[in-house]
A and B are shown apart, each in its own frame.
Chain A
Amino acid sequence: MSEQGKVTIGRLATGVPGLDTVLGGGLPEFSFNIIAGAPGTGKTTLAHQIMFANATPERPALYFTVLGEPSLKMLRYQQQFDFFDAAKINGAVRFINLSQVLLDNDLSAVFDAIITEVEASSPGIVLVDSFRTVVRKAQTGASTEMELQSFIQRLALTLTSWQATTFLIGEYSDSEVYDNPVFTVADGLLYLSQNTERNSIVRKMQITKLRGQASVPGLHTFRIDKSGLQVFPRTFGLDGKRGKSSKRPRLSTGVPALDALMGGGIPEGASLLIAGPSGTGKSVLATQFIAEGVRQGEPGIVAIFEERPEEYARRAKSFGFDLETPQKEGLLEVLYLRPLDLSVDETLFEILEAVKRMGAKRVVIDSLAGFEMALAPAFRQDFRESLYRMIGALTRVGVTVLSTVEVQETFTDLVFSPHAISFLTDAIIRMRYVEIDGQLRRILVVVKMRGGYHSKDICEYEITSDGLTLGARLEGYQGLVTGVPTRSEQS
């Protein structure tokens, strides 16, 4: 069959951010779908969001309620969401209660009631909530499994013939999905779940089945807030190529002497890791980097996980950096990402959206340890993979990323990160304490500059009210990287 002769399946935009991407471009028009999941997973909210996005006076949505959540309560709770449009009720969106029909009659009466309404209003969207109760009625009554299958098939066929896109909403556990006549007939199956781990809850969605087009496989996290559902595709940020030319301009860190150690600064679009123990000045250097960008008119983003933005700005001020004015001027955004139950995809989404919004050139992630703690426990297990995605996605859009990571100081070796992630970054600066002449002093060294020259000098630095000031190479000592150097014999 030639490509020309093939039918083109129209796609409905769901109105749910991120879901169309997961579905492979939207919902196939006239499809017969199931939204399944345990109670409280967001099935009804998802259904309402899709309904309000697509219902029009010409092609209204019919929402049949059947012994599930009472319509009165549904209207009470769903109107709290931004997508709920009261002006559409009983016009573009019509609720029809079939509970009594189901209680008093058999499946054919339910079928007749649905079809009568469909024929009267020619809807574009039909929803049945909860379809599980319809199936239960069939199972407890005289209807056989064949009759149930026949009912579902007739319903699917008729609704598709009337050019309606249908959603059956039901409470099903994932084990019930298999060998179930409802799921056999369905064109699409959207399965929602929420998993609890320790005190965190992570909501996930899977497109278990979708006829006619390729959806993005796997589990995608989603969040429900006042706007409704927002889905974070698990492939988010992985598309596109990293366009790096060999001659990239260098970005100043804000510390000229450090730029010199790095062969002129950080290559644009590279990722730099600042590693060091607590109190060595990682955040100071990160702030200096972002402040230098602002000074040069380059918009920046600071993603923080531990402190609140105002605290972060206050601390920056004590080192001589004003983060408040550039925020007001639109040159800087300090993103405080809600801790403890974040997904990687959500974090990435927030940062990338901010990058797009600001046209940011520089991004600071302060810190990776905070980021890890902010994630729901389930995601901490895959932290390395998460960082790989995060850093890859950010550098792919051309921003220069500076991340800080806290390492535990040892006096025998030089650790770059507790996550074995140093291979993910293009450059590494290691800060550490050394004991010299009865003082705890600070040194730093550029450990890695992928594809470029960097100085091997180990330099002492100070943190003052003007930020980080780099001194000259610390000569006359051996074993500086161990933290307990000895004087060289020559000195």
Chain B
Amino acid sequence: MRQTAPAAQDLAQRLLALEASVDNLPDVYAASSTFEKLHLSLVKLIGVTGFQALLVRALALAKTEVAWLAAVEVEADGTLRGFEENARKQSAEETIQGEVTLLSQLLGLLITFIGADLTLRLLKQIWSELPSENNFGAEEIS
């Protein structure tokens, strides 16, 4: 079992907050929208198979931390199945914990493979409001 790194958790929370603030979305929709935006942007870069493989791994890691994610699956096209339905069945706290855990595992994998600098640059291209500084020991993004 690999726990999510605090820095990745913090980044995930920021992304979810940013997404929720766009249209005052409820948490669960903000999370879905975050994954969709990541899907759209990263599939072009690393392909459907690449994104799907990362998300499957992230979900496998997140499932060990959050029980309700066990009912969630990743489709062949790299989208999540059963995420929103199962999230709605949880308490607000459990929902947020599941969203943050899954997203932070995905971000953690990206950071592991391509580094914090490049990951943050890619994220900033989706969420330009994302602050430039990071807590991963990488250089500040200009």
Query: Within 8 Å of chain B (Cβ to Cβ): is A54?
Result: no
**How many Å from the CB of B43 to the closest CB on chain A?**
7
Give chain B's interface residue range (CB within 8 Å of chain A): 10 to 19
Q: Tell me which of B47, B49, B118 contacts A89 (CB under 8 A).
A: B118
| Interface positions of A from 75 to 99, Cβ below 8 Å from B | 75-76, 79, 86-87, 89-90, 95-97, 99
Known: A71-B50, A72-B50, A86-B117. 8 other contacts (CB 8 A): A75-B113, A76-B114, A89-B118, A90-B45, A96-B44, A99-B47, A100-B47, A100-B49
Of all A-B residue pairs in the complex, the 4 with the closest CB atoms, nearest first, are: A97-B47, A71-B46, A72-B46, A75-B114
Judged by a CB distance under 8 angstroms, whether A193 is at the interface is: no
Residue interface mask B99-142, A partner, CB < 8 A = 1: 00000000000000111011001100100000000000000001
Interface majority SS on B: helix, strand, loop or mixed? Answer: helix
Query: Closest CB of chain B to A191's CB: distance in Å?
Result: 28
Using CB atoms, name the residue of chain A closest to B117: A86
Question: Looking across the interface, which residue of chain A has its beta carbon closest to that of B54?
Answer: A72
Contact B46–A100 (Cβ < 8 Å): no
A330 within 8 Å of B (CB atoms) = no
User: Contact: B121 with A97, CB < 8 Å?
Assistant: no
Q: Find chain A residues with CB under 8 A from B80 CB.
A: none
In the complex, what's the smallest C-beta–C-beta distance from A219 to chain B, in angstroms? 35
Query: A75–B50 contact, CB under 8 A?
Result: no
A72 to B115, CA, bound (A): 11
Residues of B contacting A100 in the complex (Cβ-Cβ under 8 angstroms): 47-49
A110 to B45, CA, bound (A): 16
Contacts of B43 in A (CB 8 A): 97
Task: Give bound CA distance, A97 to B49, whole Å.
Answer: 10
Please, which residues of chain B bring their CB within 8 A of the CB of A87? 121, 142
**How far is A65 from B122 in the complex, measured between Cα atoms in Å?**
18
B121→A89 contact, CB < 8 A: yes
Is the beta-carbon distance between B45 and A95 smaller than 8 angstroms? yes
The answer to the question of A70 belonging to the interface, with a C-beta cut-off of 8 Å to chain B, is yes
Q: B12 → chain A, closest Cβ, in Å?
A: 19
Contact string, B50-68, partner A, CB cutoff 8 A, digits 1/0?
1000100000000000000
B108 to A: closest C-beta gap in Å:
14
The verdict on A90 contacting B117 (CB below 8 Å), with A70-B46, A71-B46, A96-B44 known, is no
Knowing A96-B44, A97-B44 are in contact, say whether A75-B118 is a contact too (CB < 8 A).
yes
* Nearest-neighbor residue (CB-CB) of B110 within chain A: A72
Asked if residues B45 and A97 are in contact (CB atoms below 8 Å), the reply is: yes
User: Which chain A residue has the least Cβ–Cβ distance from B114?
Assistant: A75
A70 to B50, CA, bound (A): 7
Residue in contact with A79 in the complex, picked from B48, B115, B122, CB distance below 8 Å: B115
Query: Which A residues from 37 to 92 make CB contacts under 8 A with B?
Result: 65, 70-73, 75-76, 79, 86-87, 89-90
- Give 17 pairs: A residue, B residue, CB < 8 Å, sorted on A: A70-B46, A71-B46, A72-B50, A72-B114, A75-B45, A76-B113, A79-B114, A79-B115, A86-B115, A86-B121, A90-B45, A90-B121, A90-B122, A97-B44, A97-B47, A99-B48, A100-B48
Task: State how many angstroms separate the Cβ of B55 from the closest Cβ of chain A.
Answer: 12
User: Contacts A75-B114, A79-B115 known; A97 to B122 CB distance under 8 Å?
Assistant: no
| Distance from B126 Cβ to chain A, minimum over Cβ atoms (Å) | 10
B45 (CB) vs chain A CBs: closest residue? A95
Residues of B within 8 A of A75 (CB): 45-46, 113-114, 118
Q: Are B121 and A70 in contact (CB under 8 A)?
A: no
Partner of A70 from the list B47, B122, B125 (CB cut-off 8 Å) is: B47
Q: Give residues 88-117 of A contacting B (CB, 8 Å).
A: 89-90, 95-97, 99-100
Q: How far is the CB of B82 from chain A (nearest CB, A)?
A: 23
**Assembly CA distance A330 to B71 (angstroms):** 69
A73's nearest neighbour on chain B, judged by CB, is B113
Question: Shortest CB–CB separation between residue A296 and chain B, in angstroms?
Answer: 47
**B132 CB to nearest A CB, Å:** 12
Query: Using Cβ atoms and an 8 Å threshold, which residues of chain B touch A95?
Result: 44-46
The reply to whether B122 and A89 form a contact with Cβ atoms under 8 Å apart is: yes
Alpha-carbon gap, A90 to B123, bound state (A): 11
Question: By CB atoms of chain A within 10 A, which of B47, B54, B142 has the most?
Answer: B47
